[in-house]
Amino acid sequence: MYLTDRSAPVKAGTDRPRRRGPGRTVAPVVLVLGTVSLITDISSEMVTAVLPLYLVTTLGFSPLGFGTLDGVYNGVSALVQLTGGHLADRVRNHKLMAGLGYGLSALCKPLLLLAGSIGALGTVLALDRTGKGLRTAPRDAMISLSTPAARQGRAFGVHRAMDTTGAMLGPLAAFLILRAAVDGYDAVFGVSACVAAVGVLVLVLFVPGRRHGPKTDEAVGDAADDAADEAVVADGRQPVRVREALALLRLPQLRALAGCAALLGLTTVSDAFVYLLLQRRAGIGEEWFPLLPLGTAAVFLLLAVPVGALADRVGRRTVFLTGHAVLLTGYALLLWAPATPALPVAVLALHGTFYAATDGVLPAALAAVVPDRLRASGLALVGTSQALARFCCSLAFGAAWTVWGDGPALAGSAIGLLCCAGVASIVLRPAESSR
């Protein structure tokens, strides 16, 4: 898909850094990491766009054969994210872990060519997903650690906007190659590997290694952080992985954010279902179905930076919650709005706004809560709980669809989302003053 990956929602984004007004304050590291994400997403979405075609037309897999490949990596990826985040903190080298993740995914691109069977292909795709899981938390931690607390939202917005730009350019590149070389799937994979290598190279050459940044200190430093630091000082010498994560969970603010992210994730219907419902409700021609995610991505792209900046000003929790209210509005339109030509536009706009208000804003909100030394672990923890919750939601939504039909299932999710958002707004409110 063109959007962030649902299985590990705290990551993909895109961005278009806009240098307007006083907003030229994004740390160079963020721009470099954004560039890395942009290039890497071009590479991975090139493959994503043509993989089904390749499987069916060239390898001759039947639909069901492809189906068995699909959807088995979600849980794994979330757990890998946790591992990546923790290891990055443990070896105190976020760049190394992120580089390993990007490198692993880059290696997988040429391997796709050699994988002729479902089993081999499944292995390569699993490795690719592992790379993605490994790099997410360290990368977000680097963004977070290089940015002062007051500008986290904008920084993540810039990164997500750049990331999404890459995701939108990828399919374009892939289909241009296929036009130049009919059946040239090997060329698509080859070029994708080259592009991925450039991404890794930019990371290796231009992202500063180790902990860095004089700005780091000001990023922390509120009362919550002191408490947090105390909590980890106790077992800060190389504690067991699970222990350390649990210690983080003792931080009330982190617990609140992780809990709310999971709670809201439980009622966030996966994108595929949203597009399917939209297509049914609005009577969109099936041939246009593959383009629906592009609509969401475009809105996400346009709004990621301004909404991120807004979050810095009015409070990230507020924006995060508002994002879910926007999503709720989208559900309401899907449920009750008449099928006018404006419906798909409105729903996709709301859906994209939801991503802009949540995808980068959540990690931005964590910056003030998680101590520097455990930043990647903390980000991974929240990301993983959100991903697993969304995965459970997908399963539950499928079951509800079966029992009640699509409309009632969505209505159920909407009511659930309303309740969860209510709870979340109460839980997150007291912390509002500290953003």
Residues 239-298 that bind other proteins (CB under 8 A): 270-272, 275, 285-287, 289-294
Kindly tell me which of 191 and 247 has the beta carbon lying closer to other proteins: 191
Instruction: Name the minimum Å distance from CB 176 to other proteins.
Output: 7
Site string for other proteins, 124-143 (x = CB under 8 A): -x---x--------------
Which range binds other proteins by CB under 8 A, 50-58, 229-237, 378-386, 410-418? 50-58
Which range binds other proteins by CB under 8 A, 54-62, 86-94, 152-160, 417-425? 54-62
In this chain, which of 91, 120, 234, 403 binds other proteins, going by CB under 8 A? 403
Q: Is the dihedral of CA 256, 258, 259, 261 positive or negative?
A: positive
Q: Is the dihedral of CA 406, 408, 412, 414 positive or negative?
A: positive
In this chain, which of 27, 149, 195, 301 binds other proteins, going by CB under 8 A? 195
Instruction: Name the minimum Å distance from CB 413 to other proteins.
Output: 13
Site for other proteins in 338-397 (CB under 8 A): 394
Kindly tell me which of 153 and 170 has the beta carbon lying closer to other proteins: 170
The DSSP code for 294 is H
Instruction: Name the minimum Å distance from CB 355 to other proteins.
Output: 15
Neighbour tally for 308: CB within 10 Å: 31
Neighbour tally for 73: CB within 10 Å: 19
Kindly tell me which of 117 and 340 has the beta carbon lying closer to other proteins: 117
Site for other proteins in 203-232 (CB under 8 A): 205-206
Site for other proteins in 107-126 (CB under 8 A): 116-119, 125
Site string for other proteins, 291-330 (x = CB under 8 A): xxxx------------------------------------
- Which residues lie below 8 Å from residue 379, measured CB to CB, with a gap of 6+? 10, 85, 136, 137, 140, 141, 144, 363, 366, 370
**Which among 130, 140, 94 has a CA at the least distance from the CA of 380?**
140
Instruction: Name the minimum Å distance from CB 156 to other proteins.
Output: 22
- Which residues lie below 8 Å from residue 340, measured CB to CB, with a gap of 6+? none
The yes or no reply on residue 197 touching other proteins (CB under 8 A) is yes
Q: Is the dihedral of CA 379, 385, 391, 396 positive or negative?
A: negative
In this chain, which of 89, 163, 359, 406 binds other proteins, going by CB under 8 A? 406
Q: d(Cα 297, Cα 355) in Å, to the nearest integer?
A: 9
Site for other proteins in 4-43 (CB under 8 A): 5-7
Q: d(Cα 361, Cα 355) in Å, to the nearest integer?
A: 9
Instruction: Name the minimum Å distance from CB 423 to other proteins.
Output: 27
Total chain residues near other proteins (CB under 8 A): 79
Contact in structure between 50 and 178 (CB atoms under 8 Å): yes
In this chain, which of 15, 45, 140, 312 binds other proteins, going by CB under 8 A? 45
In this chain, which of 36, 46, 51, 256 binds other proteins, going by CB under 8 A? 51
Which range binds other proteins by CB under 8 A, 140-148, 174-182, 220-228, 337-345? 174-182
- The angle subtended at Cα 289 by Cα 283 and Cα 292, nearest 5°, is 100
| Cα 150 to Cα 31, 227, 265, 308, distances in angstroms | 17, 20, 26, 11
Residue showing tokens 């002062």 = 148
Distance of CA 12 to the CA centre of its chain: 4
Instruction: Name the minimum Å distance from CB 59 to other proteins.
Output: 7
Q: d(Cα 20, Cα 198) in Å, to the nearest integer?
A: 28
How many residues are present in the chain?
435
